[in-house]
A and B are shown apart, each in its own frame.
Chain A
């Protein structure tokens, strides 16, 4: 359990100093305070704050109170026979009954009955467990958020794979593989050309990432002339990209690197991949 977090967020210490905890909970906090100096320090701070707050609401009592009070009191340095300890013994029952509610500090040598000790232990355990659960809950929340993101990512990639599979599986599709030319031999692009409606989609398997002001452009070669098939989004990884529909009877597909937005005619020196139909 993170003690600092417990101090700042549990609210238990505030309830303790406000006097709103029940007796067992109070004892639990006292046990914790003896184990953790940070808790002791925080309790002191809270108590001093409240003390100062109460002093803002001071009202001077009538002078008669002090006189009446001290007339009823006897002191060690004045009259030994009537020390307050004897007084307490005489009125033990009433005094004790009153004090069970009134005071928070049990006598140092007081022996707790076994159930008392057990209940204190239970309270402390509960507090510790609450603190731990709180931390745990936070961790779980984080983990949960991470998992949600991961699941979303997996779903998206799954969808892409599904699209890709569908593209391969579709019997109407003619698949043309464009292979890397000398400029980048490792390059590879797959074209899916739907023979029914001439729609074209492509999947970049491997192409060097273009500069910010450059873009790849797809071409068909129809009757020996290049025909523009559209530019390829630079964010092409792992995607099935829809291109323009084929017109006429292309002999080959090719991709060149052009300025962003594409060119009316291909820059042949910058041709990366080509595949014959």
Chain B
């Protein structure tokens, strides 16, 4: 995780990023790259390609930080949107190349999560076990893998309305588990 000792509040970080300061971008990379990379790997199981994409994503973040407007949402949400769109673009461009069956993908990617998460993450993982699998799978497909709700519903062979309501319940549960 973080290699620098400098600690930023979200406001300070954004201000420093907008001033294009190296320390801020290093901090951003050190603290957020693993989270974004975890998501990229869900889209593209090829690790080398994922690494290239992560680089592309961070370059986009760097180039476009001036356009980020904190009143419209959190920095991380904005970065996740860039991540999602970059990955979907690639999947569209190289259609078929990275196609992986939904279930396979989930198992495969989870199995590849080989780095040791820190203790607090372990605790949170336990919390997550409580999330019902049929809801978690939808959350992952749509939020981490960029499926539209329609595609996710089709993949799982459930009605769209069911998919939507499961996602809603999953989010409500997350709010409770994380005590947000």
Q: Give me the interface of A with B, judged by CB distance under 8 Å.
A: 11, 14-15, 17-20, 30, 34, 43-62, 64-66, 68-70, 72-73, 75-78, 83-85, 87-88, 95, 98-99, 101-108
Query: Which chain A residue shows the least CB distance to B64?
Result: A99
Known: A20-B142, A72-B59, A78-B22. A57 touches B42 (CB 8 A): yes
In this complex, the member of A17, A34, A56 whose beta carbon has the largest number of chain B beta carbons within 10 angstroms is: A56
Our pick among B68, B115, B125, B180 for the contact of A60 (Cβ within 8 Å) is B115
Interface SS, B side: helix
Our pick among A53, A65, A84 for the contact of B174 (Cβ within 8 Å) is A53
* Chain B contacts for A106, CB-based, 8 A: 67, 69, 72
A51:B77 contact, CB within 8 angstroms: yes
Our pick among B22, B26, B115, B171 for the contact of A14 (Cβ within 8 Å) is B171
Give per-residue flags for B1-29: 1 if the beta carbon is below 8 A from chain A beta carbons, else 0.
Answer: 00000000000000000011110011001
A73:B62 contact, CB within 8 angstroms: yes
Answer whether residue B105 sits at the interface, using C-beta atoms and an 8 A cutoff.
no
* Chain A contacts for B81, CB-based, 8 A: 19, 102-104
Query: Which chain B residue shows the least CB distance to A57?
Result: B38
Interface SS, A side: helix
Our pick among B22, B143, B165 for the contact of A19 (Cβ within 8 Å) is B143
Q: Contacts A47-B77, A68-B55, A107-B67 given; 18 further ones with Cβ under 8 A?
A: A11-B165, A18-B171, A50-B77, A50-B143, A51-B80, A53-B128, A57-B35, A57-B144, A59-B37, A73-B25, A75-B22, A76-B19, A85-B66, A101-B89, A103-B64, A105-B69, A105-B72, A105-B78
Work out how many contacts link A and B, with CB atoms closer than 8 A.
193
Output the least CB separation between B120 and chain A (Å).
10
In this complex, the member of B58, B59, B112, B148 whose beta carbon has the largest number of chain A beta carbons within 10 angstroms is: B58
* Chain B contacts for A50, CB-based, 8 A: 77, 80, 143, 171, 174
Output the least CB separation between A83 and chain B (Å).
6
Answer whether residue B139 sits at the interface, using C-beta atoms and an 8 A cutoff.
yes
Query: Which chain B residue shows the least CB distance to A78?
Result: B22
Nearest 7 Cβ contacts at the A-B interface = A105-B69, A76-B20, A58-B34, A57-B38, A49-B174, A102-B85, A105-B72
Output the least CB separation between A256 and chain B (Å).
65
* Chain A contacts for B73, CB-based, 8 A: 43, 47, 104-105
Output the least CB separation between A123 and chain B (Å).
15
* Chain B contacts for A99, CB-based, 8 A: 60, 64, 67
Measured in the bound complex, the distance between the Cα atoms of B125 and A65 in whole Å is 27
B25:A102 contact, CB within 8 angstroms: no
Known: A18-B167, A58-B35. A48 touches B178 (CB 8 A): yes
B121:A56 contact, CB within 8 angstroms: yes
Query: Which chain A residue shows the least CB distance to B66?
Result: A85
Give per-residue flags for B111-124: 1 if the beta carbon is below 8 A from chain A beta carbons, else 0.
Answer: 01101010001001
Q: Could you list 18 examples of A-B contacts with CB < 8 Å? A: A11-B165, A14-B167, A14-B168, A18-B143, A19-B84, A48-B74, A51-B74, A52-B124, A60-B115, A61-B50, A62-B47, A65-B51, A73-B22, A76-B20, A83-B20, A99-B60, A105-B73, A108-B69
* Chain A contacts for B175, CB-based, 8 A: 45-46, 49
Output the least CB separation between B116 and chain A (Å).
10
Output the least CB separation between B132 and chain A (Å).
14
Measured in the bound complex, the distance between the Cα atoms of B29 and A98 in whole Å is 21
Q: Give me the interface of B with A, judged by CB distance under 8 Å.
A: 19-22, 25-26, 29, 33-35, 37-39, 41-42, 47, 50-51, 54-55, 58-60, 62-69, 71-74, 76-78, 80-82, 84-86, 89, 112-113, 115, 117, 121, 124-125, 128, 139, 142-144, 148-149, 164-165, 167-168, 171, 174-175, 178, 180
B148:A101 contact, CB within 8 angstroms: no
Measured in the bound complex, the distance between the Cα atoms of B73 and A57 in whole Å is 21
* Chain A contacts for B71, CB-based, 8 A: 34
Known: A48-B178, A104-B72. A73 touches B77 (CB 8 A): no
Output the least CB separation between B19 and chain A (Å).
6
Measured in the bound complex, the distance between the Cα atoms of B36 and A252 in whole Å is 97
Our pick among B21, B69, B168 for the contact of A75 (Cβ within 8 Å) is B21
